Structure 1
Amino acid sequence: MSIGMYGWTPGEMNNQSGRSFVVTGANSGLGAVTARVLAEAGASVILACRNTDRGEAVADRIRKSQPEAQCEVRSLDLADLSSVYAFTNECPQIDVLINNAGVMAVPKTRTKDGFEMQLGTNHLGHFALTGLLLDRITDRVVTVSSGMHLIGRVDLKDLNWERRKYRRWPAYAQSKLANLLFTYELQRRFDAAGSGMRAVAAHPGYASTGLQSHTGTIQDRLMRVTNKLLAQSAEGGALPSLYAATAPSLPGGSYVGPAGRFEQRGSPVLVRSNKRSRDRTLAKGLWEESEALTGVAYRIPADTGSTQN
């Protein structure tokens, strides 16, 4: 399963000069590391951030360490479809979209469009973003999932927790399972259309990022402690996303995660997702519901002449 990835580091990445990336949620954590490493490798990077002040701080640090880095910050709030439309209206052609942004185990809240916050941000916002950018992506779409997909259940009759009693961790797990269902269905649609584009997924293992500190409960304190004791750095957690976004020969439909025990840390390798994530009937149903909720209907380009590097 490793296809030669054991021990892979960003130093083995091909030069990314001439290639362009959008990284969502690049104002902190895994997204900030991903944007920095890509820029250091010569790529042009758009940091798509809800908090643009923090995004500018990340971009400034990148420019200070790499004066020739090509990076810019643009506003994107995945919890607001009008923001998604505004971003895509101004986005140029890119090679790779990295759907990285996410929220985890937050209290019951809703997006501007009325979606449950975790599903709306982690899945529906990225679903809309990808669909609206599809005619301007030349190579691949990378979507960041989680090992939490293993306990996820997607309820097509109540995706937005309107009838069920809201539970923050099952809601998070549902959104992360949705990320994988989306990735595999998108790849099937690329294949059916004869497109050379690729949809791939990644997960970071257990990485210390700001994602774990917004539950609004005592769990925030507990996770800060476990982060210090058990978690790998954000730099380690970003490795699967970086590999998924840049490896030339990575097949569409791949899922990349850490090589270590329980996939918690380590160099990127191909990993397996659960049977539920590959349920084609469930994926088709989720896709149809996602189109209905977001109003974004996909048009898959037949042959983009996709670039590989």
Structure 2
Amino acid sequence: MTTFTAAHLPAMNGRTVVITGANSGIGLAAARALAAKGARVVLAVRDPDRGRTAAATLTGDTAVQRLDLADLSSIRAFAEDLTEPIDVLINNAGVMIPPLARTADGFELQFGTNHLGHFALTNLLLPRIRRRVVTVSSNGHRTGTLDLADLNWERRPYRAFAAYAQSKLANLLFTSELQRRLTEAGSPVLATAAHPGMAATNLLGHLDRDPTPLGRLRTALTGLLSQSDDDGALPTLYAAVADVPGGSYAGPDGFLEGRGAPKLVGRSKAARDGTLARRLWTASEMLTGVGFPLMATKG
């Protein structure tokens, strides 16, 4: 079996790929690889100036458009402005383990950005998506639980990593329920998910600022076990173009899925719970005011 690398990407001429959070990290690495293969890559970023700086490092057809996933009005404006057909949407942007903060709409920041923002964006863009929706999750989802009565941490004492794990579990539940709905609607679009392993991106920058002995040890282990942004982007690229079934989940093949070549990987029992996925979808529709736009094909 051939190991998948960026060189195995097919020619992408004539295809449009939208990548959220594409101004740095694995999002930028994925944008670089896809643009080099001829795709038109739309960098959907919160800071257009940083986006333009990032786009200037890419070779190929790129565009930069403002998108703040922590603000539903920004998501709606982005979806209204982007009128061209989209071949692949890569839901890559995310926040990791910040202090308690809330989005413009009052959602807990990690759940609101990592899940609800991408939930709303995907459903608003779905009528124009032709091939695939890829959502970036994390191995951290394995410790995640979903409290449907308190998704936004308004009653529980806030725990940053638990909130992060909840948002990453939500990413996988969203992918599976999206695929179920796409199949029911007779759509050819596939929903897939990926995780980068332990990629040395700016999401992990907070570890470098921990001066305690445990913090220094954690930083050293991160450097030892993590992989580059380019390698961390490979599972995302694999989920975007490889011949994989809808609802599949890609990650590295190495020790504890921390690094290595991309392959299909497993997920937690909670992430395989179809009933929970449907309940989360219903809650997400209520919170965002955005629903699934495709009608089921009549038999």
Amino acid at match of 1:76: L
Instruction: Supply the distance in 2 between the matched residues of 1:215 and 1:128 (Cα, whole angstroms).
Output: 31
Q: Which of 281, 288, 291 is the matching residue for 1:294?
A: 288
The answer on 1:53 being equivalent to 2:49 is yes
Aligned residue runs from structure 1 range 1-309, under 5 A: 4=1, 7-62=3-58, 66=59, 69-91=60-82, 92-214=84-206, 218=210, 222=216, 224-247=219-242, 249-300=243-294
The one-letter code sitting in structure 2 at the alignment partner of 1:227 is T
Task: Tell me how far 1:89 sits from its aligned partner.
Answer: 0.4
| SS at structure 2 position matched to 1:229 | helix
Distance across 2 between alignment mates of 1:254 and 1:284: 17
> Kindly tell me: are residues 59 and 227 of structure 1, through their superposed partners in 2, closer, same or farther at Cα, counting changes over 3 Å?
same
Shift of 1:275: 1.3
Q: Partners in 2 of 1:301 and 1:130 — Cα distance?
A: 15
**Number of aligned positions between the proteins:** 293
- Alpha-carbon distance change, 215 to 118 in structure 1, aligned in 2, over 3 angstroms: farther
**C-alpha contact (below 8 Å) 2:124/2:293 kept by paired residues:** no
Following superposition, the deviation at residue 227 of structure 1 comes to 3.4
TM-score (ref. length: structure 1): 0.91
- Asked if the contact 1:78–1:121 (Cα under 8 Å) also holds between the matched residues in 2, the reply is yes
The alpha carbon displacement at 1:215 in A equals 7.5
Which has the bigger relative contact order, CA under 8 A and spacing at least 6? Answer: 1
Shift of 1:12: 1.2
- Change over 3 Å in CA distance of 1:44–1:105 after alignment to 2: same
CA RMSD of aligned residues (A): 1.7
* Letter of the 1:45 counterpart: V
CA offset at residue 197 of structure 1?
A: 1.0
Q: Indicate how the Cα distance of structure 1 residues 29 and 265 shifts in structure 2: closer, same or farther if over 3 A, else same.
A: same
1:229 Cα deviation from its structure 2 partner: 2.7
Contact 1:48/1:76 (8 A) holds in 2: yes
Give the C-alpha shift of residue 287 in structure 1: 0.3
Q: Percent identity?
A: 56
SS class of match (1:241): helix
- Structure 1 Cα separation of the partners of residues 247 and 12 of structure 2: 22
